[in-house]
Structures are given as C-alpha cells and as structure tokens.
Structure 1
Amino acid sequence: MLFNAENILLIGSVLLFVSIVVSKTGYRFGVPTLLVFLLVGMFFGSDGLGLQFHNAGEAQFIGMVALSIILFSGGMDTKFAEIRPVLPQGILLSTVGVLLTTLFTGLFIYWISGFKHVSITMSLITAMLLAATMSSTDSASVFNILRSQSMNLKHNLRPMLELESGSNDPMAYMLTIVLIQFINSSGMGFMDILGSFCIQFIVGGASGFLLGKLAILILNKINLNNQSLYPILLLSFIFFIFTVTDLCKGNGYLAVYIAGIMVGNNRITNRKEISTFMNGMTWLFQIIMFLTLGLLVNPHEMLNIAVPALLIGIFMIVFARPLSVLICLLPFKKMNFSSRIFVSWVGLRGAVPIIFATYPVVANIPDSNQIFNIVFFITILSLVIQGTTISWMAKLLHLATPLEKTGNDFGVEIPEEINTDLRDIILTEEMLAKGNRLMDMNLPKGTLVMLIKRGNEFMIPNGSLQLHAGDKLLIISENKEGTPPPLS
C-alpha cells in the first residue's frame, strides 16, 4: 500500500495510536521508547504489513523539522545553573568526543572492510563518512528509562549527559556534510574543510544567540490578545532560526539549540502554555520521525550487512565510545572512575544517526544504501544492548539516586512573573503536637495555606478546620528562591 492524499490521515492516525499504546508497555519494562517506535514502523513497512515508503529525501525533511523542534525544546530544558559546573566536560564530549569516535570507528571500518568474510568494501573516506553519521548519541532515551524507574544520577551526571546529547548533533552533522562535500568535490583540501567547520560553528552560535534574544524580546513585547498564539509564534521562530542560519552557511541545529537555551533561561510571557505546547510538539515529531525511519528501511536488506554491522556496533560500544570519553575526561581529576565508566556506557545511537545516514543517500554517494542499513542495524543494536541496561549499570556503579519530586500533587501552577514559591507538604504527628487546627500552627510570615487534600477530598482552609496527620497542604510563600518554610 502506498501513501496518498486519501489514506495518509487514516494510516497516520493508526500508526500514532499503535505506537503510543505499545510504548506504554515498553516504558514499563525499561525498553527505550525510540526502539518501540522504530519497530512499529518496521512492522507496518514494506517487509511487514506492506506500507511502501522509500523516499529518503522526504524522510530527511521530516527529520530536519523534527530535530529543529527537539533540539530547541531540549535547549529550553537546559538550565544554566545545572550545566555550569559541567560545562567544560559537556563541550569536550560533544565536540572532541564526537571527532575521536568518528576517527576510531572510521579506521576500524576501513580495516575490517578488507577481510575476506566481511561483506563490505569501503575506501577510507567512505568509512569515515559512515562513522561520522553515527558519532552522536541519543541520551534523551536514557532519561526516559530513568524516569520510568524513578531514578536520578549522582555527581552532576544528568546535566552533563543532557548537555552532551543536546549539543553533539551539530558536530556530527558538520562532519557528515563536510565528508560528503569532500567525496563529491575532489579539489577540497584541509583548509577548505577547516574553514567550513569554523563558519558553521561561528555563524551557528552567533545566530542562535542573537535570534534567541530577538525571540525573547518579541514574546515579551508583542502583547497578543490570544494566549494560544504565543507558542505558535515561538514555533515560527524555531523554523526561522534554522533556515536563516542554514542560508548563511551556519549550523542550523547548533543555532536552534542555543536559541532554546536562551529562551529557557530568561523570563518569557506565558511560559506554562509555551512549555506544554513544546512538550506536546516534541513528542509528536519524535513519534513521526521514528515511524518514518522505521518505514523507510527494508529489514531484509540488513541481513547482508549483519556481520560487519555487528562488528562495528560492538567496537563502538566497548572501545570507540569508552576510549573517546576517557580521553576527553582526562583533565578532570575529581571525576571518579565509576562516573567515567557510566558516561562511556551511555553512548546510545538514536534517530539522529539514521537521519544523517539519509544525507549520503540523497547526495548519491557510492555505497550510500549500505551506509544507511549499517547505521540502522547499529542503532537497534545499541538500543537493545545499552538502552535496556542503563538503570542496571547505574545501580551497579552506585550512581543511582531517587528522582527528585517536581511540581505539586494539586496540579496548581502560578506564573513565573510572580516571585513566590508554591509547594505541598504532608502533615505529621510532630507538626500537630501543639494543636490540630491551622490557627494553632506557627506559620512563617508571608506563608499561606491555599488548599488541603485529605484522601481524594479537597478542602478550603480556615483557622478552625481540624487537621489530621497525613493531610497534604498546598502552601505559598513570598520568596521564590527560598527554602521550604518550616511548619510547627
């Protein structure tokens, strides 16, 4: 069955529904959500139920739109205060680490391509291109797994991995594009390659910073009557930032990530509505992107490259990624060995390498279909081996901690423009020792009780209301940056 105007909405709705339902089971058992969506796409594809989708150019466009939204949203969730202590580590991993992974893996691919029983034969530059497409990681899947098991990480590992995963895609993209240009243009020299890198970094970083500032200014000054238009306005900025940067020969993915950081770390109007909208859009385009890539692949073709892909995948997991990480983290003497090992293990390949693998196909690079199939195989291998053992590895290395609670159980939020702190607490017998009424408690100045929850019942507080141990109080205090006010 082919996609056409008459059936695309029906097929699309079925694919989305099945993906969400199946992902619930995978989430519960620690299976990466990405893997579930890919497998659903493969199940419905040409070797499964027969949906025909073979246009790498369209898949690349979908991936470009999805990555712009995902990277911007990831930037919005990246907090300066959290990443500042691990900024050098994250930047080294996302730049030098990607470069070293490409180098080690490319040399290994070139070496094994001459073996008699390996079904691939690649030149050194083609081997480097294959390595570059899968040199970035997808740590977002890691945090889905950790959250499903209410697990956090010690030693600032979480912000460091989030920074790496959000900022290493631009480096992998630049390596992929430059190597494609080198293959298609025999006259391109080292200085041309270096110049292209510098231009992409400088233009991408500068446009992301400046256009991010412009987005903040317009969001806060435009004063729209309909609040629902603010998220859509920001979405238009995301696409504008990416395309303008790309037209100026900069790295659009780097630009949207930096712009997201700028927006996320500054005060903006209607943040709650914008964040809710961006979270929904991120999930929607993640699902669409993964399903598209799953439909694009022909699973029977991967049988021919299973042996070399297996060798390359294992090499990346046990050698290339660990060695790259250990080299990048050498200057940081205070980082313990367990943390270094865990960061080495969290080198998941995700949808991004598969999207980057479509670029050689669109550019008609020799052996491009072989490159795409190998990357797809290694992505699944990485998700199965590393993705399903992340929580186990964190516990084994004694790096797991309980996930900190965010928000409150009342579902109440206040605008960030109001400098207050809103949280809930559970009453204990000790808190009620001086009396079981609200008026008997010594509430700090500037603190009010907004709601009381007893079981499934909500009550409006008053001074004479009888309180019980186990009651949950929603309290608001004046100082947003302060500590929780003690109740006695």
Structure 2
Amino acid sequence: MDSLNLFLLIGTGLMFIGLLLGSLSTRIGVPSLLMFLLVGMAAGEDGIGGIEFDDLSTAYVISNIALAVILMDGGLRTRMDTFRLALKPALSLASLGVAISAALVGAFTTWLMGVDWRLGLLLGGIIGSTDAAAVFSVIKGAGVNINERVASTLEIESGLNDPMAIFITLMLVGVLVEPDAAFGFGMILTLVQQFGLGAIIGLGLGAVLSEILLRVRSNEGLHALLLCSGGAMVFALTNLAGGSGFLAIYLTGLVAGNRRGGTGDNVLRSMDSMAWLAQSGMFLMLGLLITPSELGQHLLPALLVALFLMLVARPAAVWVSLIPFIFTWREKLFIAWTGLRGAVPIVLAVFPLLAGVGETRLLFDITLVVVLISLLAQGASLRYMARLLKVSVPATASPKQMVPMAHSANRYLMQFEVEEGAKAQGQRLGTITTQRITPILIIRDKTFLNLSEDPQIEAGDMVSWLAPLSEQDYLSDMCHKITVAERRYFGDFIVRGSVPVDQLVAVYGIHELEEQLKGMTVEAAFEDHFGQHAVVGDTLKLGGLRLRARTVEKGRVIMAGIKLPQ
C-alpha cells in the first residue's frame, strides 16, 4: 500500500508541477508542452528525480491512446466549412509535403553523417510529419488569432499527415529488416489502404456514433466520456482493419462535432480537459524516456538536422505543395515556420527500436533533439512570427454563452451583454435586427422585457439572439465597444457584402475603379479576387479604398471593414 501511495504521490506531483508551469509558460511565450517535457526530463534518471524509465512498449501504447484523444478533440473543434476550405491544401501538405520533407532530410542526413541511405531516409520519414498535439496546443495558446486559412490548414494537415509518415517509416523499417524483400506495388497499396480505410471508417462510424449520442440524453461529462470511448473504439477498429486510426478518429470527431447541431460548449470544455490530461501525461512520460546525457553524443549533427528541417526541407515542401492554391507569400512562410514536431515523431522513432533495427538508437536521439528544438524555437516564436508576417487578426469578443440548436439550419443561441459605448446602446431592438437574426430575450436588472414593444437597448442588457454563426461578428460589433486594435486593423466603418461597389466608391468620392469591378457587389469583388476561399483578414483595394474581410461565411464575405485613403 505504501508503494502505491508513493507512486500516486510522484505521478500526481509531476502532473501538478507540469500543469502549473504550463499555465505560467504561456505568459512568456514558451509552449506548455515543452514544460511538460522538461519536467519529465528533470524527474528522469539524469535529473533530480532519478526515476529510471525505459519501457518503450508502454510509452508507445500510452502515446497512441493520448494522441487519439487529442485528435478527437481537434476534430470536434473543426467546423465543416473550415474543413472544406483547407482540405485540399492540407491534404497536399500531408502527402506530397511529407514525402518531399522526408526525402530532403534523408539526403542531408546521409551526406552529413555518412550513414546508410535507408537510415537517413528513415529519419526523414520519422520527423517528416507535423504533430497534432503540438500544433493544436501551440496555436490555441499562442495568444494571437491566426487567420482561418492558415490556422485551419496547419491543424488539418497535422490531423491528416500521419498515414504518409507511418507508411514511409514502416516501409524503411521493412527494407532494413528484410533487405532482400520486394517492395513495389504492395507498399503503394498499403498507403492507399491507410488513407482509404481511415477515411471511410472514420466518416462512417463517426456518423453512427454521433447519431447514437444524439439519441442518448446524458450530462456533458458523460457525453464527453462516451465520445472518447466511442472514438477509441473507432481508432482500434481502424488499426485492426489496416487503416490509419489517427486519421479515422480525427474524422470521427469532425463528423460528431458538425452533425445535426454539433457539440455544445460544455461538452467541448469537458473534452478540452481530457485532451489536456492526455497531452500532459504523454509529454511527461516522454520526458522520463529522454536521457539527456545520451543526447550529447549526437548533439551537433542533431542540431544541424533540426536547422535543415526548419530552414530548408519544410519551406521547400510547403512552397511546392501549395503551388496550386491561393496563399500569399507571408502565409506560406508562416506555414513553413510552424511545422511543429512533437509526440508523433517520438512515437514513430520507437518503431525501428521495437523491430530491432540496428543503429536506430541514433535516430531516436536525433528525433528527440529535433522535437526539443522545434518546440523551443518554432513554438516559442509563433506569436511573434504571426504578427511579423501579418497573418494574425484581432479576436472578436465572444458571446457570454453560445449553444447550437438542433434541427435549426445551423442556428445558434447567442447571448451578449451590451457594453457602455456599444453601437446598440440607445437603439431600438428592431433597428439592429436583420432577416437572419431573431431576438429571443432581453434581461434588464433581472427583469424580462417585452420584445413586442421594440424596447430601447441600454448598457448592461443581456440580449439573446437566434442567429447563424456568420452573424456572430455583427452581433459582437453591435453589443461590444470596438477595440483600438480592431479599428486599426479593419478600419472605422463596416459595410455589408451586398453593397454595390459603384455605390460604395461614389459615397467616398473615389473615381479610379477597375472596369471589371463595375456593377459588382463587395462580396462579388472579393470572390472575383479570392474565389470562394476568402477568410477574415483578406484585403482588397478599390481605387483608394482598402476593404478587409470582417465576417466570412463559406468563403463569402458578409461584412468588410473600410480603411479610408489618407
């Protein structure tokens, strides 16, 4: 009993310290995952804790379970509109991008260290993919709101790129274990199987799981547990069938989070706690697995490989993969820099060790250094790079509460508190209500107002609306005082996308206008330039006016900010 209590004390103590330091690390821009890793290293055999842990099989199993929970949570938070927007570029990065990155790193490692080309390429496959846990965590904790095109591409890429990385790793492990075996069409079929079965099973069972949960009336905590356990079943079943469990559970979360009203805020908060538990426990355990004294033997080549990956291989892979898509050079550069490595490369590095491939401890040590450098350099600098490259947008004030309504054509119940100095203050309810917005309730001093009397809105009122998600920014602008950052970024005035361009430029006395824009609306002008892929923050110049997309729905600009000429 004493040994059990001691084990419990050490485990929970490490978790508490990691969570405490992780919550503080965001203030100085250091990724919380790095703090968990460092706490684990400090408690390990080379640290003050002196805990010896080298059970690779246990680490492999726990890491897979944790990654499944993290990917499930990421899928739940991905809106279907966002998924459609970023699917093609993310899929290109997850397939072609991983292959290019692996090939370049493999060639560089072979040249630098003089190892067998198969070992070099194996290292490239291991560290070729970005990590979902690192990407989701660092983007959420960066303290900046990255534009949707970039953020969704990075997040979806990290959820889709595991099949390619696993394929390359297993293929090279097979080549090293059985040099005389023939690897041709069968390996290509394995890759197709990984992607295909992962997608089919994930989407199919995700729909089944979401239907079951919609019919089971349960509290939020139990609902989140049902989601996790059901997702874990999908993960295991897909792996047994020969598909990618990581891809399947991400798509299961995507379907469950978007089907028939999606998942409520309370369920997402419960899932967020589970994801934090999973990633903190996983990185603490991986930290215990690291022996810093052994890393020093290959520190210099590992640093050079990490720098080559960040500065050469990843940027080249991003530039080639995104050629067919609409991304600015700033966005491409940011995506290239935010190729975060984390738990996935460490888990993949365990594959050759478990298979008994020679010299793979060298690859494992290099992988650990690459992950540490990636989290420290790329993770810690993400917020600064986002501002430097101008891919961040001001965050809109969120509703007090927002609940998806089932069977309501993607409508949400949103509650806002009207701030002093907001546009809605002093206006009649009817003057700020549109066809897409239905006022439900106004509470003033704990009293319910009669909406049929078209009351005048005052500061402090709690107003509830039924509206589509695309109207959230409009309601936020009406109920909250616009910040200096929002005014500086979007401009002093907001215009609807349905406003004709001719009328807009006439109001502001602009005479220089491109011929093809005449007769278009603001929305059509954005579509002419960006296609149906516009996101918040995209900029369009009309004569001397600068329009910046303020609210976007399915690639259509609903509202735009106006920046007047000097």
- After TM superposition, the score normalised by the length of structure 1 is 0.87
1:422 is paired with a residue whose SS is strand
In the other structure, the counterpart of 2:232 is 239
- Determine the C-alpha separation between the residues in 2 that align with 1:347 and 1:224: 40
Contact 2:67 2:133 in 1 (8 A): no
Distance 1:313 1:226, change over 3 A: closer
Contact 1:133 1:353 in 2 (8 A): yes
Shift of 1:229: 3.2
- Determine the C-alpha separation between the residues in 2 that align with 1:270 and 1:381: 36
Shift of 1:295: 0.3
Shift of 1:233: 2.2
In the other structure, the counterpart of 2:517 is none
Cα shift readout 1:36-65 (whole Å, capped 9, x = no counterpart): 110010011110020111101100001010
Equivalent of 1:361, from 348, 353, 357?
353
Per mean C-alpha deviation after superposition, the further-off stretch among 363-372 and 15-24 is 363-372
Unpaired stretches in structure 1, ≥5 consecutive residues = 115-121, 453-457
Amino acid at match of 1:7: L
Distance 1:430 1:275, change over 3 A: closer
What aligned pairs does 1:89-168 form with structure 2 within 5 A after superposition?
A: 89-114=89-114, 122-138=115-131, 141=134, 144-145=137-138, 147-148=140-141, 150-154=143-147, 156-168=149-161
Contact 1:89 1:329 in 2 (8 A): yes
Q: Percent identity?
A: 30
What aligned pairs does 1:65-464 form with structure 2 within 5 A after superposition?
A: 65-114=65-114, 122-138=115-131, 141=134, 144-145=137-138, 147-148=140-141, 150-154=143-147, 156-186=149-179, 187-221=181-215, 223-224=216-217, 228-267=221-260, 271-332=264-325, 334-408=326-400, 412-414=401-403, 416-417=405-406, 419-424=411-416, 425-428=418-421, 431=424, 433=426, 444=433, 446-452=438-444, 459-462=446-449
Cα shift readout 1:112-142 (whole Å, capped 9, x = no counterpart): 122xxxxxxx211111111111111136645
Contact 1:139 1:161 in 2 (8 A): no
Unpaired stretches in structure 2, ≥5 consecutive residues = 480-566
2:260 is paired with a residue whose SS is coil
Distance 1:200 1:461, change over 3 A: same
Contact 2:133 2:343 in 1 (8 A): no
In the other structure, the counterpart of 1:476 is 464
| Count of residues paired in the alignment | 462
Amino acid at match of 1:213: A
Shift of 1:475: 1.4
- Determine the C-alpha separation between the residues in 2 that align with 1:41 and 1:245: 31
Per mean C-alpha deviation after superposition, the further-off stretch among 174-183 and 295-304 is 174-183
Contact 2:342 2:375 in 1 (8 A): yes
Distance 1:427 1:164, change over 3 A: same
Shift of 1:271: 3.6
- Determine the C-alpha separation between the residues in 2 that align with 1:73 and 1:56: 26
Contact 1:227 1:270 in 2 (8 A): no
In the other structure, the counterpart of 1:27 is 26
Amino acid at match of 1:210: G
Contact 1:110 1:123 in 2 (8 A): yes
Shift of 1:8: 2.4
Contact 1:220 1:269 in 2 (8 A): no
- Determine the C-alpha separation between the residues in 1 that align with 2:285 and 2:30: 20
- Determine the C-alpha separation between the residues in 1 that align with 2:174 and 2:85: 37
1:428 is paired with a residue whose SS is coil
Amino acid at match of 2:22: S
Distance 1:384 1:414, change over 3 A: closer
1:61 is paired with a residue whose SS is helix
- Determine the C-alpha separation between the residues in 2 that align with 1:274 and 1:430: 33
In the other structure, the counterpart of 2:553 is none
Distance 1:423 1:225, change over 3 A: closer
Shift of 1:441: 8.3
Shift of 1:391: 1.6
2:29 is paired with a residue whose SS is coil
Distance 1:253 1:441, change over 3 A: closer
What's the Cα RMSD here? Answer: 2.8
Amino acid at match of 2:270: F
In the other structure, the counterpart of 1:11 is 10
Amino acid at match of 2:319: L
Contact 2:346 2:367 in 1 (8 A): yes
In the other structure, the counterpart of 1:119 is none
Amino acid at match of 1:317: M
Shift of 1:155: 6.6
